[in-house]
Each structure stands twice: as C-alpha cells, then as structure tokens.
Structure 1
Amino acid sequence: MYYLFNSNKMFFLFILFFSTMISISSNSWFGCWIGLEINLLSFIPLISNSNNLLSSEASLKYFLTQSIASMNFLFSILMKMILMKNFEMNNFISIMINSSLLMKMGSTPFHFWFPNISEGLSWFNNFLLMTWQKITPLILLSYYLNFNFLYFIIIMNVMIGAIGGLNQTSLRKLMAFSSINNLGWMIFTMLISENLWMFYFMMYSFLISIMFFLFYNLNMFFINQLFINNMNFMIKLNLLINFMSLGGLPPFMGFLPKWIVINFLMINKFYLLTFIMVMSSLITIYFYIRIIYSSFMFNYFKMKWFKINFKNNLMNIINFFSLISIMGMILSTFLFL
C-alpha cells in the first residue's frame, strides 16, 4: 500500500516493468544489456530506504553483484561478436553468457548474495526480487542455452535450495532458499518449453504472493514469531495450505507444474535427475512443515489476550485464494482426462 501513495516509488516501479519489456523484446544482445541496466537502476531506488540500515546495505550489495554480472554479460556478447567464426570458443562463450544471467537471477553457484539481500528487504521488495527480477534473465537464457552446463546448474539449484533452508530461522532467508530451489525447476521448464515455464512461473508467483501478503499483514520476519502470536485459526490454515502448495504436495495446486515436469523427466528417462529433484522437494516440504508445526502446536497462555485478526475483507481475499490453491489441482486433473 505504501507504493500506491508514493509517486517516486510508482515511477521507479513503472520503469522496472518497462525495462523488462525492453530486454525481452530487443532484437540484439546489446539492447538486452541496456534493458538489464535500466532494470538495475530502477530497482535500487525501490529497495533503498534511508531509515533502514539493512535495506541500504542490501541495495549496495545488489548494485555490486548486478554490476559484475552486467560487465560479464557485456564482455561475453562482445567476445561473441568478435569470435563469431571461431566454433571452438562458442561453448565457452555460451557458458559465460549463461553464467552472467544466472548470477543476475541469484542461481547457484552465484547465489551467495541472494539470501543476504532478501534479509534486508521488505516483503513487497522480496516479492519483486523473487518473481519479476527473474523474468528477464530467464528469457534471455532461453535464447542461448548450453544444455550440459544447465543440467549441472539445475542439480545444484535444487540441492542447495533445499539444504540451505534447513538451518534458517529468518522467514525471508528461508523463502530465498525456497526461491533458489524453485529456480532449478524453472530452468528445467525453460529447457522443455517456454509455455511450461510461463505456467510454472505464474503458479509460483501466485503462491508466494499470498504468503508474502500474509507475512506482511502479520508483520512477521522470523519463525519464532509464528508461535509467540496467537493467530486466528483461519490464518494458520491458510499458512498450511499455501506452504504445502508451494512444496508441491499432491492435492494442492503447486503440485501440478511439478507433476508435468516429473512426467516429462520420466518419459525421457532422466531417472537420476528425477530422483534428485523429488528428494530436494521433500526436504523443502520438511522445513515448511517445521514452520507450520510451530504455528499450529505452540500456544503461549500468557499471550491469550493478544489475538491477531485481519479486517474481514482482507481475510476473505486470502481465503478465496487458498480455496483456489486447493481446488486448482482437482480442476486441473480434468485437463488430463
């Protein structure tokens, strides 16, 4: 809501959306690079806040990492132009371009900045970082894929995203590692087809938007806040539904895109990759359950007077979205009949 009443933020938000359009509709690598630069320069004013030291630090870290990735990208496309006829260098240049784009979106092994920066941002900025900021690099990645390199990256993403979230107490860092895990799935959907990627991306964006909206309204940033607060039962139920859906548990909508990916993997005999991706999803579900368990099971009697409720209209919106999350899978099974 803060963005709606702040003309500066609205202006930079518009440029952020516009810069993505420049990149993905450009017909040259140089145009793509310009779009990425505009994107970077519009995102930094959105995340920097002079009152909050953490967000100022996050904006500086974000600027440095993105600048390094941009330089790498520009250097790679210039090399591509100079060494156009040299086929031996093609593989190396494609790895360079892919690496700089992976660094832009916070994929492994260039992911170290991602959880640290997410820790310093508000929930809305985190939502932008984990959804909109991934669109441009992923679409540019689809223009120049290096399959062998990306299979290795996908395995690293799903494993590090799952293992990294195990020892986190901060909800923002936990969602950042969850985003790294989902990025592995997203890159694989991009290898299969762009339509499937769009479907997976929209599902992921929808699910984390509900959760971030919940966390923002409850003003929660750490796991222990979930069991200190006596929340309304419906809020707890919504948390359960959306976390399980994000983890990819069958009755919920989040399972559908993962089901399609697993189906493709099995048909094409990628058995080891299927095993790694499913196991990593199980680990992510484990740490989601840990959060839900703490909010469901613990009640502090000293806090009985302190009840959290939303205004009715907000709660109705969240209940409606959670209903879609449950019904989505049931409705979608009719597509396969």
Structure 2
Amino acid sequence: MFLTFNSNKMFFMFILFFSTLVSISSNSWFGCWIGLEINLLSFIPLISNSNNILSSEASLKYFLVQSIASINLLFFIIFKMILMKNFEMNNFISIMINSSLLMKMGSVPFHFWFPNIVEGLSWFNNFILMSWQKITPIILLSYYFNNNLLIIIIIMNSIIGAIGGLNQTSLRKLMAFSSINNLSWMLFSMMISENLWIMYMFMYMFMISILCFLFYLMNMFFINQLYFINMNYMIKLSLLINLLSLGGLPPFIGFFPKWIIINFLLMNNFFFMTFILILMSLIILYYYIRILYSSFMFNYLKLKWMKIFIKNKIIYFINLLSMISISGMILSTFFYL
C-alpha cells in the first residue's frame, strides 16, 4: 500500500512538472490553457487525502477557484480571437486575461482562497503551491500584461502580504502572506527582465524549501510551538538565517535580487513604489524578528520533556544550506563592482 501510494504520488508530480512545460512551450493560448488544466488535474490528487478533512476541503476549494479562473481565461481567449481587429476592446480583454492568471497564482485582489487552502495542506504541498504553481501563470502573464493594472496589483500585493501576516499565529498562513508579498517583487522582476525573474524565483524556491523542510522535520504548524519545544539551537539558527533571508535583510542572499529591483526602480524614478516595497518588507521583517526573538529567549519549563530528536547529519546539511544564504553580501559586492 505504501509503495502504491508513493508511485502514484511520483506519477502525479511528473504530470505536474510536464504540464508546466506544455504551457510555457506552447505557441497558442489554447495550448497554454490545456497545460493549466493538466496542472490542475495533477495537483488535486497530490493535496487530497481521504483521512484528513482539512486536506479534502482544501482540494475542493482549490478545484473550484482554479476552475473559475480557467473558465474566465478560456472565455476571454475566445473573445480575443473573435475581436482581434477591434483595438478598442484590447485593453479590456488584456485586463480580464490578466485577472484570470492573477487568480490562478493567488494574487491580490483574488487572494482570499490562498491562506485558507494553505492551512489544510502539508508542508511539502505548501512548498509546491507557493513556488512551482506560480511559474506557469507568471510566464503566461509576461506574454500579455497590462502595464497600469500590474503596477497597481504589485502595490496591493506588497501591502496586503505585509499587513495580513501581522496577526497570524499559524506558520502556514504566515508563509502564505509572505508568499503574497514576495509575489509583488516577482511580478516587478518579470516586468524588468526574464532573467531577473528566473533568478528571483530560484532564490525564493531555495529559501522556502529550507523553511518548509525545517517545519516538516519538527512537525510545526503554529508559532507557539517554537516557544515551547526545547529544540536544538543550531536548528533555531538555521531558522533565523532563512527567515531573515526570505524577508530580504541585507547580509543574506534574499536581499540580492531585491537590491537589483530597487536599483532599477530608483534609476527610473519610481520613488513611491520603492518606498512602498521597502516599507512593507520592513513590516515583514518586524514580525519575523518578533517570532525569532521570542523563540530564542523564551524557556518554557513546563514542556521541557518535549524534545525533538533529529539526526546530526540532517542538522549539518540544513546548516550548510543556510550558510549559502549568508553569501548574499558577497554577490552584491561583486555585482556592484
């Protein structure tokens, strides 16, 4: 039974990756839409679990939201083909196609499904939803985006992603709002350059994979578990480095792509947008540091008997990956030179 489950899971993961390749290599909108549908139908079996009510509910919500977005996308693709010569409708069609793709990636103002679905998923499925599932919609958005709409969406993503995480006690919801905030930087990097977006995406996937792996190892889902459990300080140090890197604090590698985007914004006189993006990043760093400070300083003796045993080899491997995050300042220095 265990082997069957694993083989089925590997099969659906292969289809998931294959569907992304179908979408981004297609030369027509219908091919892109088919790739998105294959992606949806392969991700549903990965997140659904008959033994867990939250997972079943999350898979149903995900299916409904993605189906609505796909129907809208298909409708306006056909609408675009019919009214190809009508230039007056082009602006409206581009806004509606962009809205469908933004709904698929969980962007503001279509983000309400995202934190709710994240709450019902395992850490591995969360990692896929917050990283791989954003690749196809962003690439399709880069083919046909409305510049004015996207700038408004970037500002809204930055603000909602920062403020939404302030009152959260769930680590999964916290990561979801952090993902919404990072989406604003991703969208702007996509507008600047495809290479910059690829670099930002890979760095984001690297940082979030370490955090999801750490939370999975320690079986943590809420902030108060970081205070109570008597965990290894090396794991806490890795958590510190990767959370601050994800927030974009300068010595770490997460700051490097953000620094390039800030440079571009300042060179092109986008001072208001630069101010908003930096201010919201500071708010995110505030609640990251609040969590980390409490987890380092609190010593809850009542639950001292609760101890997590993790093999030393795994701890060393996580620390090695975390040390890569510190190389951000070196990269920034060479880039400046």
TM-score, normalised with respect to structure 1: 0.98
**Which string of whole-angstrom CA distances, capped at 9 and with x for unpartnered residues, describes residues 60-81 of structure 1?**
0000000000000000100100
User: Is the 2:255–2:328 contact (alpha carbons within 8 Å) kept by the matching residues of 1?
Assistant: no
Q: Aligned pair 1:323/2:309, yes or no?
A: no
Give the superposition deviation at 1:333.
Answer: 1.8
Give the superposition deviation at 1:332.
Answer: 4.0
- Aligned alpha-carbon RMSD (Å): 1.3
Q: Aligned pair 1:223/2:223, yes or no?
A: yes
Q: Which residue of 2 is the match for residue 140 of structure 1? A: 140
1:290 alignment partner, SS class? helix
Q: Which residue of 2 is the match for residue 248 of structure 1? A: 248
CA distance in 2, matches of 1:37, 1:306: 45
Q: Which residue of 1 is the match for residue 263 of structure 2? A: 263
Q: Which residue of 2 is the match for residue 13 of structure 1? A: 13
Give the superposition deviation at 1:218.
Answer: 0.3
Check 1:3–1:27 CA distance in 2 against 1; reply closer, same or farther (3 A cut).
Answer: farther
Q: Write out aligned runs for 1:80-119 (5 A).
A: 80-119=80-119
Q: Which residue of 1 is the match for residue 50 of structure 2? A: 50
Q: Write out aligned runs for 1:12-51 (5 A).
A: 12-51=12-51
1:157 alignment partner, SS class? helix
Which consecutive residues of structure 2, in runs of 5 or more, have no partner in the other structure?
none
CA distance in 1, matches of 2:162, 2:56: 28
Give the superposition deviation at 1:159.
Answer: 0.3
User: Is the 1:155–1:277 contact (alpha carbons within 8 Å) kept by the matching residues of 2?
Assistant: yes
Report the count of equivalent residues. Answer: 336
Q: Which residue of 2 is the match for residue 129 of structure 1? A: 129
Q: Which amino acid aligns with 2:130?
A: M
Give me the identity figure in percent: 76
Q: Which residue of 2 is the match for residue 198 of structure 1? A: 198
1:166 alignment partner, SS class? coil
CA distance in 1, matches of 2:278, 2:70: 33
User: Is the 1:189–1:200 contact (alpha carbons within 8 Å) kept by the matching residues of 2?
Assistant: yes
CA distance in 2, matches of 1:40, 1:154: 25
Q: Which residue of 2 is the match for residue 153 of structure 1? A: 153
Give the superposition deviation at 1:309.
Answer: 3.7
CA distance in 2, matches of 1:149, 1:4: 46
CA distance in 1, matches of 2:280, 2:85: 41
User: Is the 1:3–1:10 contact (alpha carbons within 8 Å) kept by the matching residues of 2?
Assistant: no
Give the superposition deviation at 1:3.
Answer: 9.4
Structure 1: which 4+ aligned runs deviate by more than 6 Å? 2-5
CA distance in 2, matches of 1:139, 1:61: 24
CA distance in 1, matches of 2:4, 2:248: 33
Q: Which residue of 1 is the match for residue 233 of structure 2? A: 233
User: Is the 2:250–2:328 contact (alpha carbons within 8 Å) kept by the matching residues of 1?
Assistant: no
Which consecutive residues of structure 1, in runs of 5 or more, have no partner in the other structure?
none
1:307 alignment partner, SS class? coil
CA distance in 2, matches of 1:233, 1:3: 36
